[in-house]
Amino acid sequence: MTSMAARVLRPAILLILGLIWLVPVYLLVVNAAKPAARYASDQVWRPVGEFALFDNIQEAWELAGLADAVTSTLIYSVVAPALAVLIGAAIGFGIVALRLRHGFFWFVLVFGGTVFPLQMILMPLFVGYVEAEIYDSRLGMLAIYTAITLPFSALVMRNFLGGIAHQVFEAAVMDGATTWRIFWRIYLPMSTSALVAVFILQATFVWNDLLLGLVLSQSDEVRPLMTALTSLQNTYGGSQLVTVLAGGLLVSLPTVVLFLSTQRIFSRGLNLGQF
């Protein structure tokens, strides 16, 4: 009886909540698809007959010169989170499995990186970057993106690995495995879902970053995507609202696709019990 009710109730609640969540997305898409001349602020709910989404997208693409920034942004949002996930998993492993001395202290030190208000470290970073001659370089951008995504990764990985029974480690040692091998061949594979979750969340963060890109880069080959996009919307005038929305929609597509394509990993019932 209860399970029957649950079978209907659970998807129903999720569906209703999900629809509510999609309302702003609806507004975004409907208005991004309006021709500029037909957009009116008191008619945001109603679609107009004409469908101009692709024209608007094209206009945003050209106006903001987005093409230049795609390659570099792609590199940043793949490499930096990947490094952060690995480095974060490594310290998690060091603390949880290898029982690093004063583990809590070192963990808090790394996690403390999220505590600093990002806006306040921008200026010293900029000066430091120029002095270290990594200002306006891809290396510099990768380094800061790795650093900024690392604390989150360390927190999740440390806690996730903490859920793996220590006997797993001890058994592997009995089999004569080295610590490196245990990390690479046992702990990492056991945490695929956490690794992927951290990776996609942080990749999205990097993809959407505006502030760091703005301050630490300048040339077209190094500047990330969002800095180009925001030039559409500026205190000193800018483009039509529909163009801004269409541009925002366009640059969101890759991250939405990323979420879509990784859904499988979170649904295939991977759990530690099977090991």
Residues numbered 68 to 107 that lie near other proteins (CB under 8 A) are 72, 75, 79-80, 83, 86-88, 90-91, 93-95, 98-101, 104, 106
Helix or strand (DSSP H, E) at 201: helix 192-208
Q: Which of residues 140-169 bind other proteins (CB under 8 A)?
A: 140-144, 146-148, 150-152, 154-156, 159-160, 162-163, 165-168
Residue 211 vs residues 21, 144, 151, 163: alpha-carbon distances, Å: 27, 12, 18, 35
Closest CB 31 distance from other proteins, rounded Å? 8
161 half-sphere exposure, CB direction, 13 A CA radius? 29
Structure tokens belonging to residue 27: 């507004």
Q: Which of residues 226-245 bind other proteins (CB under 8 A)?
A: 226-227, 229-241, 244-245
CB nearer to other proteins: give 39 or 52: 39
8 binds other proteins, rule: CB under 8 A? no
Q: Which of residues 123-142 bind other proteins (CB under 8 A)?
A: 123-128, 130-131, 133-142
249 binds other proteins, rule: CB under 8 A? yes
Closest CB 163 distance from other proteins, rounded Å? 5
Alpha helices in 132-182 (DSSP H): 138-162, 166-174, 179-181
Q: Which of residues 175-194 bind other proteins (CB under 8 A)?
A: 175, 177-183, 185-186, 189, 193-194
13 binds other proteins, rule: CB under 8 A? yes
CA distance 99 to 221: 43
CB nearer to other proteins: give 2 or 49: 2
58 binds other proteins, rule: CB under 8 A? no
49 binds other proteins, rule: CB under 8 A? no
What is the DSSP track for 208-275?
H--HHHHHH--STTTS-HHHHHHTTS-TT--S-HHHHHHHHHHHHHHHHHHHHHHHHHHHS---GGG-
255 binds other proteins, rule: CB under 8 A? yes
| Nearest alpha-carbon partner for 219 in 62, 72, 59 | 72
For residue 42, give the 3-state DSSP assignment: helix
CA distance 4 to 11: 12
16 binds other proteins, rule: CB under 8 A? no
CB nearer to other proteins: give 49 or 274: 274
CA distance 249 to 57: 8
51 binds other proteins, rule: CB under 8 A? no
222 binds other proteins, rule: CB under 8 A? yes
